[in-house]
Structure 1
Amino acid sequence: MNQNLMYFPCLAMMILTVIVMMRMFVMRVLAVKNKDINITYFKTYNTGDAPRLMLQADRHFVNLFEAPVLFYMVCAFSVITFHVDSKMLWAAWIYVFFRCIHAFIHVTSNKITPRMLAYVGSWIALLYMGLSLGYKLLQAAVS
């Protein structure tokens, strides 16, 4: 299988991160423009009550630098070690799918149960990827 195909789920995650960043920026600008917060709020992020949608976008942007870092690591290791196969690639796309659903829910309605299910779905895909890669690397080390 072409190892370079693993780049595209990573690119999709990067695009998702940029979209959430843009949403965060728009929500911040609107909050200041609508006088929901004072621009000085952004000096320390602890003065006054910020609007819910702005906080959700802020929190999700930070979230995209937590678990997804492990996703990028597993993708990179699978490419470097030539262990990208169709199952690994599908799992990567499933991870991206669930992260997109999670992001949409988190920055809009923020309904806890569907958000949690999307988050768990992404972790199942990521765990599959990590364990599968670990098994392949262990097999290669033993043979």
Structure 2
Amino acid sequence: MHKTAILYPLFALALWTALVLLQIPIARFRAAARREVTASDFKYGESATVPAYVCIPNRNYMNLLEVPVLFYVACLLLYVTDGASTTLVVLAWAYVALRVLHSLIHLSYNHVYHRLMAFAASNLVLIALWLLAAVHVFTQAPA
């Protein structure tokens, strides 16, 4: 397996994050056109009067900037240490798929328990990714 294979899921999650980011102004402009919000509702973040459908894309975007930072670091660590095994690349793609699933649930029907299951599963995959990355790093012969 080519060492850059571990970067493909990293780019995929970054692209997904950008697509979710685009949902924020779409929701805000739609709400403004319907006169459900004004610019002052966003002066200090989102006021309590902002409808939930406007807040959710922003919250999901924030979710994609929190824990996934550890995913990006793990992928880069595996890349620079030539540790991108097939198993780790599959785990990285599984993480991306679960984060996309989490977003799709959050941005559509938003069932809390379904969202929690996707979120928890993604975190378990991330833990496995880090554990296997650590094994790789600590079992390498010193240079």
Give the TM-score range, shorter chain: over 0.9
Q: Which runs of 4+ in 1 moved over 6 A?
A: none
Are the counterparts in 2 of residues 21 and 61 from structure 1 also a CA contact under 8 Å? yes
Deviation of 1:45 after TM superposition, in Å, equals 2.4
Asked if residue 117 in structure 1 is aligned to residue 107 in structure 2, the reply is no
Q: Quick one: which amino acid aligns to residue 13 of structure 1?
A: L
Which segment drifts farther, 88-97 or 48-57? Answer: 48-57
CA distance in 2, matches of 1:122, 1:40: 36
In the other structure, the counterpart of 1:64 is 64
2:17 touches 2:61 (CA, 8 Å); kept in 1? yes
The alpha-carbon distance between structure 1 residues 16 and 46, as it changes in their structure 2 partners (threshold 3 A), is closer
- Give the counterpart letter for 1:44 in structure 2: Y
1:105 matched to 2:136: no
| Residue type of the alignment partner of 2:131 | L
What TM-score do you get using the length of structure 1 for normalisation? 0.94
Q: Is the 8 A contact 1:53 1:108 kept in 2?
A: no
Is the CA contact 2:46–2:55 (under 8 Å) kept in the aligned structure 1? no
Cα distance, 1:33 vs structure 2: 1.1
- Percent identity at matched positions? 25
CA contact (8 A) 2:41 2:49 kept: no
Does the residue aligned with 1:44 lie in a helix, a strand or coil? Answer: coil
Q: Give the number of equivalent residue pairs.
A: 143
* Aligned Cα root-mean-square deviation (Å): 1.5
* Residue identity in the other structure for 1:40: S
* CA shift in 2, pair 1:136/1:23, >3 Å: same
Deviations for 1:37-95, whole angstroms, at most 9, x for unmatched residues?
A: 11121211254411111111110111111011000000000000010000000000000
Q: What residue ranges of structure 2 are gaps of 5+ in the alignment?
A: none
Shift of residue 142 of structure 1? 7.4
Question: Which consecutive unaligned segments of at least 5 residues does structure 1 have?
Answer: none
Please name the residue that 1:31 is paired with: 31
1:88 corresponds to 2:88: yes
Paired residue type of 1:21: L
What are the Cα deviations for residues 6-40 of structure 1, in whole angstroms up to 9, with x where unaligned?
11101110111111111111001111111111112
Paired with 1:48 and 1:140, the residues of 2 have a C-alpha distance of 53
Q: Which residue of 2 aligns with 1:78?
A: 78
Contact 1:83 1:133 in 2 (8 A): yes
> What pairs up with 1:13-52 in 2 under 5 angstroms?
13-52=13-52
